[in-house]
Structure 1
């Protein structure tokens, strides 16, 4: 397991992650990319705990996702299964489990202040924190995608499922975009990654 983990997370995080995995009896599965999520946790019918994490994540996002999912397991075990999945108990647990990793031996110095800000009140996904999402993307392999906030108003773009939209105005935090085929208006997070067709 050490050899496998060291391919996916920063070297200085391998030993503490292995200890967390063993302590909580986690069956870790590294899976192909799922567009809708980076990872998930579930308790299996035999009582064992399975965590899946997408193989295509950069090592910093992989580490955050792995600890995020272990935090679900630990919070459910400690506080019971009736707590909200991303409620106060989970947030507190996630903060406590991440604390030992938020240091320069594990994360690049450019990420540390963004992580410190994020973990004051962690979100349900690193993607819903636009600052963290953009900071983490710096460590992804280059791709042909843009963020919604980078596109000029009126740009036409495609999302992962092939649907085509036209970018509109920003509301408070999200962007109004019109689906070209139906005329329906959808709201997009500023850090949604899309493929620009034309501007």
Structure 2
């Protein structure tokens, strides 16, 4: 597994990551992309502890996700299993585990200020930190997706689950999208990745 991890995280982070995993005797498995999560942690029936991470993440997001899940294990181990999954105990643990990695030998300089701000109060998902999510996505391999803020007003876009929406106006921080089949209104973060269906036809 250690050799496999070298394909997924920044080279300079490998020694510290291996030390964390060996210390806690954690099993890490690489999974195909899951649309609803980047990774997860769970205790197995044999009392071993397993972390799974999506294989399609870029090196920086993979590292953050891995430490995020290790923090779940450490928090439960240190504070008990009745704590909130992303409560203050997890936040503190995540901050402490991530701190040694927040340096320019591991992360690009343009990410470090955003990471420093994010880790003052880490969220359950880095995707909810729009500026950080957009900055991280520039290191993803090219794909046929676009961000919702780039979709022209009135154009239709498709989500990963096949549902089609028509883009509406921008509110304070999010964008309106009306589902074509139901007419229901939804709000989307600007970093939501969608597939453009068509553009509004000029009159």
Shift, 1:85, TM fit: 0.7
Which residues of 2 match residues 145-156 of structure 1 at below 5 A?
Answer: 145-156=145-156
Give the TM-score normalised by structure 1.
0.96
Partner of 2:102: 102
Q: Deviations over 1:57-104 (max 9, x none)?
A: 100000000000000110111111111111111111101000000000
Q: Please give the per-residue CA displacement for 1:158-193, whole angstroms capped at 9, x wherever unaligned.
A: 010111001112333322211001111122122110
Measured after TM superposition, the shift of residue 195 of structure 1 is 0.6
Report the counterpart of residue 190 of structure 1 in structure 2: 190
Unpaired runs of 5+ residues, structure 2, are: none
Q: Would you say how many aligned residue pairs link Structure 1 and Structure 2?
A: 199
- Work out whether 1:9 is the aligned partner of 2:15: no
Q: Secondary structure at the match of 2:67?
A: helix
Question: What residue in structure 2 maps to residue 45 of structure 1?
Answer: 45
Residues 1:80 and 2:80 are matched in the alignment: yes
SS in structure 1 at match of 2:6: helix
**Alignment gaps of 5+ in structure 1:** none
CA distance in 2, matches of 1:176, 1:87: 30
- Report what 2:58 is aligned to: 58
TM-score when scaled to structure 2? 0.95
Q: What is the alpha-carbon distance in structure 1 between the residues aligned to residue 58 and residue 43 of structure 2?
A: 26
